[in-house]
Amino acid sequence: MKQTLPHHSVPYTHIHRGSKKVCIMLSGLGYHYEKPLFYYSTMLMLEEGIDVVHVHYSYNRDFLKQSLQTVAHMMIKDIDPILTHILEAYSYEEIIFLGKSLGTVPILYNFMKQDRFAGATMLLLTPLLNFPELFTSVQESKHQGLLVIGDQDVHYDKQKFQQLHETNFQVDVIKDADHSLDVHPINAHASLTALMNVMNNMKKSLHIVKQH
């Protein structure tokens, strides 16, 4: 059920089951929490005994035409009060960020660099790595996590992505997949297989971090 903080207009959903772990999910511009990647990611987190927060910000199609700095600062202004409230009100010991597309911007631009999130797990689905500053953030990050992108995504560059294999991220490039991770030419079976592989790798990332 959506709720809002006093004096803050952005709603959020907190699925709270008393866990010591929480996954903060940040959606894409037109890819929201009812879409397959988020629907099954939410199900996976609950299966793993992890609480979930969906932040329901909403921007128009021209939002990304602004500078990266403007986009990032506006998103942080919308997200940070919710994030701060959740972490102050509940005694979470482990934090996971899961962002898709636009949702990776505040993670890479800001949250990944904050000391309070130094031990957080980062799950990056189709990150906007055409922005050099965001690419550098992944390169320089010490975080454990997963990065998933399709090789038909405009933000994928084979040569650049080879540099990311030296990070702590598992980098998963899906053949013939677009920015929604749908496989083309249109192929339902291959797209579902790709989705299943993403969930398997996400689960593996959670367990790798658990071992550390």
Question: At 8, which CATH number?
Answer: 3.40.50.1820
Range of the domain at 8: 2-211
Give me the chain's average pLDDT, please.
95
Phi, psi of 12 (to 5 degrees): -150, 160
Residue 106 confidence (pLDDT): 98
Q: Does residue 208 register a pLDDT over 80?
A: no
Residue 28 has pLDDT above 80, yes or no: yes
Rg for the chain (alpha carbons), in Å?
16
Provide the pLDDT for residue 212. 46
| pLDDT class of 165 with cuts at 50, 70, 90 | confident
Q: Are 116 and 94 in contact (CB under 8 A)?
A: no
- How many domains, in total, are found in the chain? 1
Length of the chain: 212
Which tens digit of pLDDT belongs to each residue from 93-133?
Answer: 999 999 999 999 999 999 999 999 999 999 999 999 999 99
Quote the pTM value: 0.96
